[in-house]
Amino acid sequence: MRRDVFYKIYRRLESRKDISYVSEKYGFGEDVLYSILSQKIVRNTKKDYYLIARQARAMAREWERGKTLVQLAEERKFPAILTSGFVLAELGHGKKAVKQYVQDPSLAPTPRLRAELEDVLAEDFIYSPRGITCQKDRGIFCESCIKSWLDEQGITYMTEQDSRDMGRSKTPDFLFHEPHELLGREFQWMESKGSFGSPFQARHDYEKQLSSYVELFGPGIVVYWVGFVDDIVLDEDVAIVDRTFFD
């Protein structure tokens, strides 16, 4: 994806309601757009977390006057699960109770809360239990596809768990037993990311993980499964590919 197209899409995506339109306008699959939207929401959540937290008392009063938890979240463009947590805490519900309500809304003490929490769970595709499970399942799926491809190529490797069992604290998903030539040069490891490789996500991943892998093990490949911005350059020893690499 070209950088200018990415930023146009990034600015246009505000909620799930925008996915269909943006997909049709720009020709990218919904899985790509969901990943971009997820990154935008997570970034904004980190930025606005304490700002919204300070509004807990005001939100609780608005809820008591009739606004729903989803409405409160939509007005602030903030995740519904986290918004609900602020409101419920202000209303006197403990953290343990709120966690139980989110896991099973039928445990909420009033019909109104039960109904609204059902709506919250349906609305929040990132921080809800279902959203977290989907993210985990996507990561497992992407790693399994890469594993199958490496096995077909006859490339032997240690998995992340294998490396951790040896006492390594920082290790890629697949550490090759010996360097292998891919993309016209030799690489030592491969890291799977089920997300989109945006400029800020790729930079975050490089600073948090990939730079350490280069320092410890040498050149490697990071796989942004649903795509990436074409002109990203993280390090001459880190190549970026997407799922089409394995076709």
| Series of mean pLDDT values for 10-residue runs along the chain (247 residues) | 97 94 96 97 96 97 97 96 97 95 96 97 95 94 96 94 82 95 96 96 96 96 97 94 95
Whether the Cβ atoms of residue 82 and residue 102 lie closer than 8 Å to each other: no
Q: Facing residues of 199 across strands? A: none
Q: Helices 56-64 and 69-76: crossing angle, nearest 10°?
A: 140
Rounded CA separation 147/164 (Å): 18
- What b/e string do you get for 44-63 counting C-beta neighbours within 10 Å, with b at 16 or more? ebeeeeeebbebbeebbebb
Rounded CA separation 195/229 (Å): 12
HSE-up of residue 57 (Cα within 13 Å, Cβ side): 1
Tokens read off for 75: 């007005």
Q: Say what the pTM is.
A: 0.91
Nearest of 76, 74, 83, 94 to residue 53 by alpha carbon = 83
Cα 99 → chain centroid: 21
DSSP state, 245?
Answer: G
Whether the Cβ atoms of residue 225 and residue 193 lie closer than 8 Å to each other: yes
pLDDT computed for residue 162 by the predictor: 87
pLDDT computed for residue 213 by the predictor: 96
Which secondary-structure segment (H or E) carries 182? strand 174-182
